[in-house]
Structure formats: C-alpha cells, structure tokens
Amino acid sequence: MEAMTGTIRVVVVEGQALFGKALCQVLATDRAIEVVGDAENVAAAPLVALHPDLIVLDLDGHTVELGDAMGQCRAAAPNARICVLSAHLQPEVMQRCLTAGADGYIVKDVTPAELIRAVKTLAGGSSYVDPRIAGHVLRRRSMNNGRADLNELSVRETEVVRLIAEGLSNKEISARLKLSEKTVKNHISRIFSKLNITARTQAAVHAIKTGLV
C-alpha cells in the first residue's frame, strides 16, 4: 500500500523483537509517521518493496558488520536515510557509526517525544545525534584541539556549536553567553558558512565528523 501524502515511511530493523514492536508502536502515535515494516535483521527486511524514507537500524541486532548492514540498506533503498539505534552512550561508538555513513544516532533510552523529533529531523534532510553525546565530543575536542587552521571555528563559535548540540534555542544561547540574539544569529551564520551547512543539527554532526572542533 502506498503511503499517505506527506507521511514519513519508516522501517524498523531491531534485533530484539519485543523492543522493535514497542518502537513501532511509539512511532505510530504520530500521524506524520507511517511504519511500513519491521524486521529483526536487514536480510529479513523487504526494503526494495517498502520504499522507506528512513531506516532505523539496530546497532547490535544484526550478525554482519555495521558497514555491511548499512551497505545492504543503501543498495536496497538508496534514497532512504539511515539512523542507527544503539544502547551505547559512548562518543566513540557514535563516531564509528557516523563515519560508516549513518545519518543519525539514537540511544535506546531516548524519550518517545525525542524519538519522534529525531525521525522528523532526519526525514527533513538534516542529521541527528543524541545531544548528550554531541555535547561531550564537542567539549572534548574544543579542549584538545590546538592546531590552527583558516577554517577553524573561533572560541565563541565553538561555544555556540556546543550549545546548539545541547538543543538550546537562539534565545537560550543568548542568555547563557550573555549576548544579544542578533549576535548569536551572526555567529550561527558564520558557522554555517565555515562548515558549508544549512541546518542547526548539521553543525554538531559535521563538526564531530570532520574534527573541526
């Protein structure tokens, strides 16, 4: 059956069947999301026939390597975005997934509301990573990166990226850094220009992937 106009077609690939069904039920509570299929591994998911917009891929539930599993997803559904679902909150695990080509990274203790927000963010073309991990990685790289580079973010821009990764709005960033909202917007504009991105969530993801901060 074809998806309703405007809905986000999602396939859930989760190794734990009970958790996978619960995940599908949570996603189905939002009218903008249509769960078109679920399976315990990539091989069992008829991705070619389902034409998903987004694949939620369990990091631990498949028997092949992550890169191979993602490659199978890309081959079967080349236009779909892939979000890794993981029980791991370690930054190194998230970075490995992003390097392998994932568009997003969700930790399994995410709230239902945040899960739905992540799905919509990814379906809209932006990237998504758990803000708790993104903030940690950005802070660590900000402290450890001493190499000068023409494209390197300034100290203030690094602070703004970190706060974006933590989910703060422009108004909240303004209050935290004691800057005007106009100044915050100017910083974000320069960050977008330096990183060649167009969305707030991409700022954290791109910085983590490339090591700019």
Predicted confidence (pLDDT) per residue in 39-58, tens digit: 988 888 899 999 999 999 98
- Provide the pLDDT for residue 208: 65
Residues of the chain below pLDDT 70 = 1-5, 61-64, 134-152, 206-213
- Provide the pLDDT for residue 154: 75
**Alpha carbon distance 41, 58 (integer Å):** 8
**Alpha carbon distance 195, 178 (integer Å):** 24
- Provide the pLDDT for residue 148: 33
Nearest to 41 by CA among 10, 72, 67, 81: 72
Domain residue ranges of the chain, discontinuous segments joined by +: 8-129, 133-210
- Provide the pLDDT for residue 126: 83
What are 30's two structure tokens? Answer: 């939002």
- Which is it for strands 54-58 and 81-86: parallel, antiparallel or unpaired? parallel
At 61, give phi and psi (nearest 5°): -95, 10
CATH number, span 8-129: 3.40.50.2300
Specify the fold of 133-210: Arc Repressor Mutant, subunit A (1.10.10)
- Provide the pLDDT for residue 137: 56
Q: Where is 56: in which H helix or E strand? A: strand 54-58
